[in-house]
Structure 1
Amino acid sequence: MKKYSLLVGFLLLWNLVGAQTPLDSLLTVWEDTARPDSVRIYAYRDYIWDGYLYSKPDSALVLSDSLYEFSMASGYKKGIASVLNMQGFTHFMQGDYIKALSHHQRSLKIRKEIGDKRGIASSLNNIGLIYVERNNYTKALNHYMQSLKIKEEIGDKRGISVTLNNIGSIYNNQEAYDKALDCYKRSMAIKEEIGDQRGIAVSLVNIGQIYSQQGDQTSALDYYGRALEMAESMSDKRSMSQILENMGDVKYEQGNFSDALDNHKRSLALRDEIGDKDGSASSLNSIGFTYFKQKQYQSATTYCKRGLKLAQTIGAIWEQKEGCECLFNINKATNNSAKALEYHEQMIALTDSLQKEETIQELQRIEFNRKVKEDSLLQVEKAMKREMVFQEETNRKDRNKNIAMGVGLFFILLSAGLYSRWRYVKKSKAVIEEEKDRSENLLLNILPSEIAEELKTKGSADTRDFENVSILFTDFVGFTEASEKLSAKELIEEINHCFKTFDILCDKYGIEKIKTIGDAYMAAGGIPIPSDVSVKNTVLAALEMQAFMAHRVLERKAKNEIPFEMRLGIHTGPVVAGIVGVKKFQYDIWGDTVNTASRMESGGDIGKVNISEDTYQCIKDNPAFVFEARGEVEVKGKGEMTMYFVSYA
């Protein structure tokens, strides 16, 4: 079950926004040209922040652009930095971290020029938030520490408490719980001193989570309970629902299912009331899991089905996976094998989707770091060009011998500086190239290399017709029965072990893995680049897959473990191939050839490689194979089809 925490990022925004002035009053100040420019700039900034930043971020950017131009025209640097800071937050909320970082860095530069220490500390903290979002915790911590030092110098207690909380979250993420706990407690002490009730509640939850992660559930419940009382006193229903969820999870881990149910049901009621659908789906699944532990299978089924349905409606993949896992466990416990298999297959598909999502996020993180390095490198190259221009200009104007001697000495020093910068540029380019290679390797885990290259070049990839593609399907026999005797973890580990070997064999023979569907594996030879040997290589890969499975059966039987046996079928013919969707790209194939290949698998025998007449005609004269004619075999939906078993010669 997924634990909820109160995010420190929200805490930062609470402290920055403070009490809101009515929007009409702010707009009146902005439109009053008799007022000083500085007053008008801050009024319009607050108007945009309070009125548009959270509800209409696109409009906020448009309005802030006009405010930026006005601030530039007025020459009020503190106002310019403040507007850039707001724009940075807007881009951050939209997920455009490159632009967010650029705006905060520009704001930081101006604040350093004018000596605005409070603003400098704020910018450093905001840049730290961006690096946290991109999982670059080293840089985030560095910026937080700089921010904290300045805030301590100027005595900004509220700011110190915010930054300590952010630092604690980094330590928590890295499982340095002692350091995280120290930061959280120091932050809470300051909040208690200045009377920041909402901030205290956040710290209590964070401290409670640390104790829970360390196994001290008694202390965790104590902190959660204190946080809940404060959230209730402020009528903060969202925080109340999250805290109750955490308390329910602790009670569940302790085996106190009655109290766990009470906490989760109270959390669900609050989430339904405030329209938190993602939270409601999580609560429904938590209630279902708790009923399952009590062997109240009917109630467990009711809640987990509701959780799954709601998660599907809002597209929450994690909650869908949790719902399927809950229903898989229920049906397995009640010996409903067909339903258990159905939910297990959905679990695998959702796990694949989550892994793809993580891969995409990693690609985005790498691209972010690469662009940051490129921006830094660009600044160095610009500086080098300015210095070279200066060198040429000096050489042209200064002809005097004595001056030339001085210039010569200057050039020696300058050359050393340029050489140092050249080395930095060279090193930076190597780092960027390394990041680029990592990004491309991750992309190749999702798409064929040719398709990935087309996607990078054009931004899209065309669907294509192929005339002679060999489709390979595998399926484990007796999978349903085996799933009843194995735990979900054992089941997935064994499937993963087999499929990893299949992936290696696909690479060995140059055939393309298409996808896995539950316990089925699908690959294709002859795409995205047609090849004269694709049919032969597909069959060779298939024979090695069956040989591996035969060896695996002997291994597991020797250990008294339940083995999987496999059917495998191949058909060759025309297909259409391409990328489906606009997010989480997947290379896929379509056509009757795919359906026929699936029938070759289902019409085959355990341990055999079953091929169609079309595949046979392509390789019948190849001396590497021998064939066993099976004659006409009845095929569902297609009538009788000629089939052959193929093996090594």
Structure 2
Amino acid sequence: MTHLSRPVALLLSLLWLPLLLTAQTKSLEQLEQELAEAPETAIKIDLLIEASRTAGSKRPDQSIAYAQEALSLSRKIRSREGVVNSQSNLGLILMNLDRFQEAVPPLKQAAELKKELLPDRPAVYALSIARDYQRLGICYEKLRDNETALDYYQRQATYATKARSYEVYAQAKNSTGEVQLKLGAYQEAYQSFSQALRYAQRSGAKSLILNIEKNLAQTQTLTRNSEAAQQELQNFQFQLEEISDSLDRVEESRQTLISQKELLELERDKKEAEIRAREAQILAFDQELEAQKAREEALQSELEATEARQLTYLIGAGGAALFLFMVILFLVSRAQARKRANLALAAEKRKSDELLLNILPEKVADELKASGKVDTVRYENVSILFTDFQGFTSVAADLAPEELVAMLEELFAEFDRITEKYGLEKIKTIGDAYMAVAGLPHPDHNHAAHAVAAAMEMQEYMDSWMGRQHRRNQPIWRLRIGINSGPVVAGVI
């Protein structure tokens, strides 16, 4: 077969673009920090798989090591889904490193295990099995075992049919045709490509359609059907020009995604700064408690020393009258010393209580003073209110970061006032999302009614805000609100 032309190479690069954008969400260093603290659960398995893909071809040995560690941990904690995902990931990593012979066993094992899980989620696992068979076909094709490759491409087509995926079925038929073309079976290859084209057109996958049309044109050229081949090649060239234009639009979208990512990172840094400030307050409170304890011990030692000295004076005194006078003096002095100590302790206690109430709710602060810790509490009846803004991402892409933050601060400040009005406790904000709860830390039998009343007042405010924005010809967001009532477990971390 001929080498790929430059437009086709660009087209294949376009197919990898979404994966590349997704893979850059976390650096390998960030993933390694999270792995160092992650418990041996499904969360760590997912982190290991993500780390193996991030290491990729730049650090092949490390990539394989992470993939194998994910498989070992999945077996250790007896996670069937973890074993399946880890096997598929290990096979894919080895295949991308051109270690096709080593990639075959894990891919086969992954496909067989997924067949056992097929009744749980038929559509999901059928499509995943089809992908594994596609990779096995590629491996055997690279190993020059074309007959086995054809067998696995046929299996891919079978499971793509079960998953009702036109695109994956078209890929299977296109791969089958390419192998048949290499074997010189031009008529069979033409039939396979024709089937592939029909299903690719149903799926709307433009890049796949172009690749199939190119293969059809080559097949027709080889079978000396020059007139039809010329037409196919012209169609292919025309559509490649359209794809080239699409690449420019994809680049623009990528830049927009990068800007949004920077904005989200700015918001995350702000939240992390708030967390560090809260941690510093808690540390200062702990230090103040330790200092208070030291002062109390010093006062107690001073009292004991004063009593010892006064007792010594009494022993040295002679006479009953003098002894009685010294006893009275001792008692008065001790009472005054205890009074001063108690006043000092009371003052220190007031300072500690004021500091604690500045950081934590009164109920949580009382529990911390009583037991030295705050236990998690199950609340049987609470209502949690969630909000976000429809169209936030598209509007945010056209705004400067300062304008975006100013709009969010205006809206969230009003939401804070409304939640306080109806007795809701604000939990957090993430990007354009706002979260509050009714019914904790203080139980509220009317928690659902208060949450709904707050939601309605938020919506009324948003309606007036959108009207003002519209009159000023400014961008608007529509508010989406969700409320869920039921039991929760809450505590202080």
Q: Normalized against structure 2, the TM-score is what?
A: 0.43
In terms of fraction of residues, the more helix-rich structure is 2
**Higher relative contact order (CA closer than 8 Å, sequence separation 6+):** 2
TM-score by length of 1: 0.34
